[in-house]
Amino acid sequence: MSVRITALTDPDTILSSHRLVWLASDTDGIPVGSAFLRLYTSTGQDHLAALELHVHPAERRNGTGSRLLDAAIAAARQDGRRSVITQAEAGSPGDRFLPARGFRRVLTLTFTRLSLAEADITALTEITDQSHPGYLLASWEGTVPDGLAETFVASRHAMDDMPMGGTDFGTVTWDLDRVRAAAAAVERRGDLLHTVVAIDESDGSIAGFTELVVPGDGKGDGQHYGTGVLPKHRGHGLARWMKAASIREAHERHPDLGGLLTDTADNNPYMRHINDALGYVPMHTTFEYQLDL
Ligand SMILES: CC(C)(COP(=O)(O)OP(=O)(O)OC[C@H]1O[C@@H](n2cnc3c(N)ncnc32)[C@H](O)[C@@H]1OP(=O)(O)O)[C@@H](O)C(=O)NCCC(=O)NCCS
């Protein structure tokens, strides 16, 4: 089968990145695969590109994935990128394709899920009711309220030392525009962003946060985004406290929600321990792959 690769224009430009797209189609013009290459543009990540590659299951092992990949890699090189990252589930065709095409595994992520029907709400309530002297919990929907905006931006540094294995991820620089753009992107998709924070009562600053995204119709599964505690506030049980509060609030507000998903790096024992203790059950393992250009 002869396959044609066409570069498309992607209007999906956001504050910190834009994407290039290629479509693979057969001789009748029927799409058989696609590649998306996200080029990060912010300082600290402008060496990086992230790839999403798909070939229709009926059209695989015909070299289409390789041709799409060649187009994406050539564009990444031309743009002066140093690394291309992508993900594949353990044991999937992608997990075999990527090493065959020069990528190496740099991080192992375990995806876990908490079924809300099976969540131990009494135990979660006990956790959220525990007092943490010097700290109090607060939460909001959507964009950070103006009064907490500045300290919320500063608290994003809690993610600076998140274990990333060998991933050439660079550094994400947060400012208020970026925080607001991230919240706006969730809202534009029709999803709901729910944030719980722990506030240091001595100065009113945010010591840590946890973010959860729930589908707009309140059905299916929610997805935890980041959970982070600033280094000087670690070791006080704040992450477990905030995450338990986030689960309880989701359970109360969205009675039709099935479960909550989270993914954690295998080399992040603290977060894994918290998730295990809260009742999250492993679903699958995904590898982060990287090609060094
Ligand atoms: C991964 C994927 C894009 C590969 O597309 P493809 O068109 O089948 O890939 P190619 O035909 O170019 O394969 C190139 C080489 O990769 C390896 N490979 C690809 N799929 C494989 C599989 N299922 N088992 C073993 N090796 C495989 C082989 O070495 C193959 O060469 P060969 O066919 O001469 O033996 C496709 O399986 C897919 O869409 N998977 C789901 C999405 C995904 O995982 N994307 C990757 C991360 S973004």
Query: Between residues 12 and 153, which one has the greater pLDDT?
Result: 153
Question: What is d(CA 25, CA 267) in angstroms, rounded to the nearest whole number?
Answer: 40
* CA angle in degrees (0–180, nearest 5) for 69-72-78: 135
Per-residue pLDDT averaged across 226-235, rounded? 95
Q: What pLDDT does residue 241 have?
A: 97
Q: How far is the CA of 4 from the centre of ligand 1 (A)?
A: 17
Q: How far is the CA of 52 from the centre of ligand 1 (A)?
A: 13
Secondary structure in 3-state letters for the chain: CCCEEEEECCCCCECCEEEEEEEEECCCCCEEEEEEEEEECCCCCCCEEEEEEEECHHHCCCCHHHHHHHHHHHHHHHCCCCEEEEEEECCCHHHHHHHHCCCEEEEEEEEEEEECCCCCHHHHHHHHHCCCCCEEEEEEECCCCHHHHHHHHHHHHHHCCCCCCCCCCCCCCCCHHHHHHHHHHHHHCCCEEEEEEEEECCCCEEEEEEEEEECCCCCEEEEEEEEEECHHHCCCCHHHHHHHHHHHHHHHHCCCEEEEEEEEECCCHHHHHHHHHHCCEEEEEEEEEEEEC
Q: Is the pLDDT at 104 greater than 90, yes or no?
A: yes
pTM for the model stands at: 0.87
Q: What is the pLDDT of residues 38-50, one digit of tens each?
A: 999 988 999 999 9
Q: Is the pLDDT at 130 greater than 80, yes or no?
A: yes
Q: Is the pLDDT at 30 greater than 90, yes or no?
A: yes
Specify which residues 289 forms β-bridges with. Answer: 86, 105
Which position has the token pair 């990527």?
98
Grade residue 15 by pLDDT with cuts at 50, 70 and 90: confident
Q: What pLDDT does residue 161 have?
A: 81
Q: What is the pLDDT of residues 160-203, one digit of tens each?
A: 888 888 898 888 888 999 899 999 999 999 999 999 999 999 99
**Site to substitute for ligand 1 among 97, 106, 285, 289, most atoms within 8 A of C-beta:** 97
> What is the average pLDDT score of the chain?
95
- Structural tokens at position 103: 């990528």
* Ligand 1 atom having least distance to the Cα of 289: 47
Which residue type, as a one-letter code, is found at position 226?
G
* Ligand 1 atom having least distance to the Cα of 95: 44
Q: How far is the CA of 167 from the centre of ligand 1 (A)?
A: 22
- The CATH number given to 4-81 is 3.40.630.30
Q: Is the pLDDT at 13 greater than 80, yes or no?
A: no
Q: Is the pLDDT at 12 greater than 80, yes or no?
A: no
The residue whose CA has the least distance to atom 25 of ligand 1 is: 96
* CA angle in degrees (0–180, nearest 5) for 76-77-83: 65
Grade residue 1 by pLDDT with cuts at 50, 70 and 90: low
- Structural tokens at position 14: 């956001």
Residue 202's alpha-carbon distances to 47, 49, 136, 238, in angstroms, are 40, 41, 11, 16
* Ligand 1 atom having least distance to the Cα of 60: 8
Q: What are the structural domain ranges in the chain?
A: 4-81, 112-284
Question: What is d(CA 195, CA 279) in angstroms, rounded to the nearest whole number?
Answer: 20
* Ligand 1 atom having least distance to the Cα of 64: 7
The residue whose CA has the least distance to atom 9 of ligand 1 is: 65
CATH number assigned to the domain with residue range 112-284, chosen from the 4 options 1.20.140.10, 3.30.465.10, 3.40.470.10, 3.40.630.30: 3.40.630.30
Two domains, one topology: 4-81 and 112-284: yes
Q: How far is the CA of 101 from the centre of ligand 1 (A)?
A: 9
Which percentage of the chain shows pLDDT scores above 90? 87
Question: What is d(CA 246, CA 238) in angstroms, rounded to the nearest whole number?
Answer: 12
Ligand 1 neighbours, Cβ below 6 Å, are 51-55, 60-66, 86, 88, 92-94, 96-97, 100
Which phi and psi (to 5°) does residue 22 adopt?
-130, 140
Q: What pLDDT does residue 280 have?
A: 96
Q: How far is the CA of 271 from the centre of ligand 1 (A)?
A: 33
Q: What pLDDT does residue 75 have?
A: 98
Per-residue pLDDT averaged across 76-80, rounded? 97
The residue whose CA has the least distance to atom 8 of ligand 1 is: 60
Q: How far is the CA of 207 from the centre of ligand 1 (A)?
A: 44
